[in-house]
Amino acid sequence: MAKKHKRLREHELLILNDLLSQDAEDEITEMLDTIAAPSDILAEVEDTVFLQEALALLTPQQQKVITATVLEERTEQEVAEHLGISQQVVNRLKGRALKRLRKHFVLDEPTAK
């Protein structure tokens, strides 16, 4: 989730950095310069609440694994060493946690029209 969010922000910045105009005095105006607020605080709060709700569905051990591997982008081996368990156990915990989250947040079948 964090990687996807980060890539989306980078993509948005690339779009917003497009050149709008260049004055005779070589002053460049980009789309990003025309936006008043640098960050959307409401969206950040919503993201935080969503993450808290999602993590609440998991066991404490699964929460630690998902937080470390997905949100902090640490390797399974690093997490295993930190938690004092094997990499295979970290992998299994991560798989079960992701399966639980998918089951809760994603519809199994698309709605028919």
33 contact partners, CB below 8 Å, separation of at least 6: 20
* 110 and 56 both lie in a single domain: yes
* 25 and 59 both lie in a single domain: no
71 contact partners, CB below 8 Å, separation of at least 6: 1, 2, 51
Mean pLDDT of 17-42: 52
Tokens of 111: 């709605």
Please state, for a pLDDT cut of 90, what percent of the chain lies above it: 40
Mean pLDDT of 71-90: 95
Q: pLDDT tens for residues 32-69?
A: 444 545 557 777 878 888 889 999 999 999 999 999 99
pTM over 0.95: no
Q: Quick one: pLDDT band at residue 110, thresholds 50, 70, 90?
A: low
Angle at 24 between CA 20 and CA 30, to 5 degrees: 20
Mean pLDDT of 9-27: 51
* 108 and 53 both lie in a single domain: yes
* 113 and 85 both lie in a single domain: yes
Residue 93 has pLDDT above 70, yes or no: yes
* 65 and 34 both lie in a single domain: no
Tokens of 68: 């470390």
Number of domains in the chain: 2
